[in-house]
Amino acid sequence: MSIKIIEIQKRVYANNDAKAEVLRNELKSNQTFMINLMSSPGSGKTTFVVSTINLLKEELNIGVIEADIDSDVDAITVQKSGARVMQLHSGGMCHIDAGMTSEGLEALDYEDLDFVILENIGNLICPASYDLGQAKNVMILSVPEGHDKPLKYPKMFTKVDALIISKVDTVSLFDFDFEKVTEYAKSLNPEINIFPLSAKTGEGMDAWIKYIKNEIMGWRT
């Protein structure tokens, strides 16, 4: 007697991808550029977001969706930068999906925004599997985490357009090899853009800001 098998995961991904494509087209039509920012907890994601906002807010209308399992600590911190912020709780899940993102954008009243940063839940596994309708995927790898992370979380590194190597001001305290992390990341994703920087000191932020401004301009054409 055969056993009936239902491929739930494939169906979930297919439904999500369809919703994400609709959302991406809506954002494109509105000329709102959204990035999906992913990282481990403690990578410096919120500090990076605030620094990015401060360097762009004179030129762009910026909004932030803070996705967390619980708490609004990061949203309160980011709100002080002057950006429009809304908090999105996942209800205990380790990721968000395109439907949740759409709800977050509606709550953010994104129609007049040029740039939306979706600060995803701190996790290098689950978020890599979900298309959220973003224009670009960006991830942060902090120096204290080590240069071997592309080997441990290959799916995440294959999905991202830009890799931020954060906390470079701490490199003297850790055994971190920039050549190796570049080699590992490029072997998985030859087109990946890599930006070593410190959001705290400002080192390397200019290159990141130039990149994201160019991407936003390209999105509008």
Q: Is residue 4 part of a domain?
A: no
Structural domain tally of the chain?
A: 1
Q: What is the mean pLDDT of residues 128-140?
A: 95
pLDDT in tens, 113-133: 999 999 998 888 888 889 999
% of residues, the chain, pLDDT over 90:
74
Q: What is the mean pLDDT of residues 130-152?
A: 96
Q: What pLDDT, on a 0 to 100 scale, did the predictor assign at position 18? A: 92
* Domain assignment of residue 131, given as a range: 16-216
Distance CA 173, CA 181 (A): 17
pLDDT in tens, 44-94: 999 999 999 999 999 999 999 988 766 667 788 888 889 999 988 776 677
* Of 145, 153, 157, 165, the residue nearest 185 (C-alpha): 157
Structural contact between residues 161 and 193, judged by C-beta atoms closer than 8 angstroms: yes
Structural contact between residues 134 and 36, judged by C-beta atoms closer than 8 angstroms: yes
pLDDT category at 12 given cuts 50, 70, 90 is: low
* Of 90, 136, 132, 83, the residue nearest 110 (C-alpha): 83
Amino acid identity of 41? P
The domain that holds 111 is classified in CATH as 3.40.50.300
Structural contact between residues 220 and 31, judged by C-beta atoms closer than 8 angstroms: yes
